[in-house]
RNA sequence: GGAUGGGUGGCCGAGUGGACGAAGGCGGCAGUCUUGAAAACUGCUGUACCCUUACGGGUACCCUGGGUUCGAAUCCCAGCCCAUCCGCCA
């Protein structure tokens, strides 16, 4: 959520930003309503002040004057209530518009309405292999090596669910260990998180449960929802807290399951593990001072690159275009891994993504910090980034490391946790 | 799931329906004293929002939401959360 005062003072810039992001929020209307709301607020406060003054007199007033004073106070309260109600109605309307306005965008973020405008920033040291045998995709590899059971998953929970089997199970655990180890060594505090969170926390992080277009599974008769990412729970971890500036940045990494309905996603590349309703993910998160967040985004991106270089998977990093940033991100880098089995001769597919949300999430989650000797508090900045999303990492891993004989080499970095150097039928 | 006791400022803790944004203490900050430190003493010490160029002023907030009242931390109703004990359980 953007700050209202900011919107009022920078209406033109906010409007332009909405345009760049393909968002049709009515900024003029918001400005108009907010100006009216201010008037009503002042009015209501003034009536209330007068009523308080009368009420204070009643205790000391002689008995014969009390009824008259009571009547006056009562009238003032009624006037206050009326003004207050009008104020609240305006406030509600403003909030509805305000909630739909996306974050501002980094001046360097490429402007464009969708991912076609994404700007490639760098490529991995590790280059795509030249295969001298017919390349299989992860579904076929998995079938030969008995790593997945999609039919079983569908039987139990419907299409989009799956069982991992045999070495794929070890691979999932190994990938988690590998990512967590690297992040812990970098100074993150590791956590496991709830896989459910309340609707308020989801809203605070910028996720909208229970709409027709929602990506979120909700639990009936409760305000709990299955999380789409640990970003939700870790972001919510400090909701409503005021931190002291010296403790920032706070960096947390967590592993959780991620649940996504993928509503409306049918038809897009969805074979196998690419687009599933549940997967496991190791997530990075940071609460920072405003002046630390740009640097932290670079660092998160650097860590993601290091993780995939370590897995010997070719990738590229793109600076995400304004129209593809989603609501909360100020700037976002996607890391796209080379997937040799995708398309006719291999394609890049998104495997991780890291965003600087500046104070956009913090404002709704109400996470603040206080600087010693300074009056008041300010909102922290939040950042999130995928360390490893297991399902997509597994696609890239299997497809890039496949061998002519149908086996798959395990990259050096994972061997300590798997206990073998190749997966064979 | 059953029983009981609780939710007040950074923390502890008081609070006859008007004096309460809230005693007292601790902690923190500033000062006096001291060669320095400690102790002692003095003062200050919540947050958000609104009005104001400023000085300053105002409104709200004592778990949450309703209600009673001219007036609620205080009374009433509902809910949430926490603690302890019992049962059940990976």
Q: Which domain CATH number covers A245? A: 3.30.930.10
A212 pLDDT higher than 70: no
Active site residue A172: no
Q: Does any strand B atom come closer than 7 Å to the Cβ of A92?
A: no
Task: Say how far A237 CA is from B1 C1', in Å.
Answer: 29
- State the complex-level ipTM: 0.84
Q: Which residues, listed in sequence order, are joined to residue A258 by a DSSP beta bridge?
A: A279
For residues A57 and A168, state if they share a domain: no
Dihedrals phi, psi of A113, to nearest 5 degrees: -85, -20
Q: Are A262 and A215 in contact (CB under 8 A)?
A: yes
d(CA A356, CA A282): 18
Please name which of A297, A308, A272, A267 lies closest in space to residue A179, comparing C-alpha atoms: A308
Average pLDDT value for residue range A42-57:
89
Is residue A337 one of the residues assigned to a domain?
yes
Active site residue A350: yes
Domain span at residue A219? 115-423
The pLDDT of residue A123? 95
Active site residue A316: no
Q: Does any strand B atom come closer than 7 Å to the Cβ of A191?
A: no
Task: Say how far A147 CA is from B88 C1', in Å.
Answer: 38
Q: Which nucleotide is nearest to A45 (CA to C1')?
A: B59
Is residue A339 one of the residues assigned to a domain?
yes
Q: Which nucleotide is nearest to A56 (CA to C1')?
A: B18
The pTM of the full predicted model, rounded to 2 decimals, is 0.92
For residues A143 and A251, state if they share a domain: yes
**What is the overall mean pLDDT for chain A?**
91
A267 pLDDT higher than 60: no
Q: Does any strand B atom come closer than 7 Å to the Cβ of A23?
A: no
Is residue A107 one of the residues assigned to a domain?
no
Residue A88, token pair as written in the block: 């609240």
**Quick one: DSSP state of residue A84?**
H
Comparing every residue's Cα with the C1' atom of nucleotide B18, the nearest one is A59
């Amino acid at each position: 959520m953007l700050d209202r005062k900011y919107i009022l003072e920078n209406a033109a810039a906010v409007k332009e930003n909405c345009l760049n992001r393909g968002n049709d929020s009515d900024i003029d209307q918001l400005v108009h309503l907010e100006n009216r709301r201010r008037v009503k607020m002042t009015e209501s406060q003034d009536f209330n002040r007068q009523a308080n003054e009368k009420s204070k007199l009643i205790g000391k007033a002689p008995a014969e004057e009390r009824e008259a004073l009571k009547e006056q106070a009562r009238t003032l309260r009624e006037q206050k209530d009326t003004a207050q109600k009008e104020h609240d109605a305006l406030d509600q309307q403003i909030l509805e518009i305000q909630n739909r306005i996306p974050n501002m965008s980094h001046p360097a973020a490429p402007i464009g309405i969708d991912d076609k405008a994404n700007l490639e920033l760098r490529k991995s040291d590790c280059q795509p292999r030249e295969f001298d045998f017919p390349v299989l995709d992860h579904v076929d590899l998995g079938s030969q090596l008995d790593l997945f059971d999609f039919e079983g998953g569908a039987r139990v929970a419907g299409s989009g669910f799956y069982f991992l089997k045999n070495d794929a199970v070890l691979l999932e655990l190994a990938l988690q260990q590998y990512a967590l180890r690297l992040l812990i060594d970098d100074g993150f505090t590791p956590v496991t998180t709830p896989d459910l969170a309340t609707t308020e926390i989801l809203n605070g992080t910028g996720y909208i449960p229970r709409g027709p277009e929602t990506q979120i599974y909700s639990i009936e008769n409760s305000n709990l929802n299955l999380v789409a990412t640990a970003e939700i729970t870790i972001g919510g971890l400090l909701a409503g807290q005021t931190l002291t500036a010296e403790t920032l940045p706070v960096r947390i990494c967590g592993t959780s399951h991620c649940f996504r309905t993928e509503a409306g996603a049918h038809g897009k590349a969805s074979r196998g593990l690419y687009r599933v309703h549940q997967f496991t993910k190791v997530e990075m998160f940071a609460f920072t001072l405003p002046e630390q967040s740009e640097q932290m985004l670079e660092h998160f991106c650097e860590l993601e690159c290091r993780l995939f270089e370590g897995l010997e998977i070719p990738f590229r990093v793109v600076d995400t275009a304004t129209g593809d940033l989603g609501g909360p991100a100020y700037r976002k880098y996607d890391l796209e891994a080379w997937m040799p089995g995708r398309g006719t001769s291999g394609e890049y597919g998104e495997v991780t993504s890291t965003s600087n949300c500046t104070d956009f999430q913090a404002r709704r989650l109400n996470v603040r910090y206080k600087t010693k000797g300074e009056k008041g508090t300010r909102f922290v900045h939040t950042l999130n980034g995928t360390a490893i999303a297991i399902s997509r990492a597994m696609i890239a891993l299997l497809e890039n490391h496949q061998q002519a004989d149908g086996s798959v080499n395990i990259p050096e970095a994972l061997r300590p946790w798997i206990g073998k150097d190749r997966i064979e039928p």
